[in-house]
Chain A
Amino acid sequence: AQSVTQLGSHVSVSEGALVLLRCNYSSSVPPYLFWYVQYPNQGLQLLLKYTSAATLVKGINGFEAEFKKSETSFHLTKPSAHMSDAAEYFCAVSDRALGLTFGTGTRLQVTL
Chain B
Amino acid sequence: EPEVTQTPSHQVTQMGQEVILRCVPISNHLYFYWYRQILGQKVEFLVSFYNNEISEKSEIFDDQFSVERPDGSNFTLKIRSTKLEDSAMYFCASSEVTPGRGLAGELFFGEGSRLTVL
* A 91-102 to B, binary, CB cutoff 8 A, 1 in contact else 0: 010111111111
Tell me the bound Cα distance from A21 to B42 in angstroms. 16
| Total interface residues in chain B, CB < 8 Å | 26
A contact residues, range: 20 to 34
User: Is the beta-carbon distance between B103 and A100 smaller than 8 angstroms?
Assistant: yes
Task: Identify which of B42, B55, B107 contacts A103 (C-beta below 8 A).
Answer: B42
Which A residues, 2 to 22, have Cβ-Cβ distances below 8 Å to chain B?
none
Q: Which residues of A contact B104 (CB under 8 A)?
A: 32, 49, 51
**Contact yes or no, A105 B112, CB < 8 A:** no
- By a CB distance below 8 angstroms, the chain A residues around B48 are 98-99
Q: Mark B49-66, 1 if CB is under 8 A from A, else 0.
A: 010000110100000000
Cβ B42 vs Cβ A98 within 8 A: no
The answer to whether B109 touches A98 (Cβ under 8 A) is no
**Across the A-B interface, how many residue pairs have beta carbons closer than 8 Å?**
65
- A105→B43 CA distance, assembly (Å): 8
CB contacts under 8 Å to B, within A32-66, are 32, 34, 36, 41-46, 49, 51
Does residue B75 face the partner (Cβ distance < 8 Å to A)?
no
Which residues of chain A have C-beta atoms less than 8 A from B50's C-beta?
A: 98
Are B55 and A97 neighbours in the complex by a CB distance under 8 Å?
yes
Are the C-beta atoms of A98 and B103 separated by less than 8 Å? yes
How far is it, in angstroms, between the C-alpha of A30 and the C-alpha of B51 when the chains are bound?
27
- Tell me, rounded to whole Å, the shortest Cβ–Cβ distance linking B7 to chain A: 13
A96–B42 touching, CB < 8 Å: no
B91 touches A43 (CB 8 A): yes
Proximity string of chain B (98-112) to chain A, C-beta cutoff 8 Å, 1 when within and 0 when not: 000011101111111
The contact of A100 among B41, B55, B107, B112, by CB within 8 Å, is B107
Structural contact, A43 and B103, CB atoms closer than 8 A? no
Residue pair B33, A99 in contact (C-beta under 8 Å): yes
The 6 closest A-B pairs by CB, nearest first: A44-B109, A43-B111, A102-B43, A104-B42, A98-B48, A43-B109
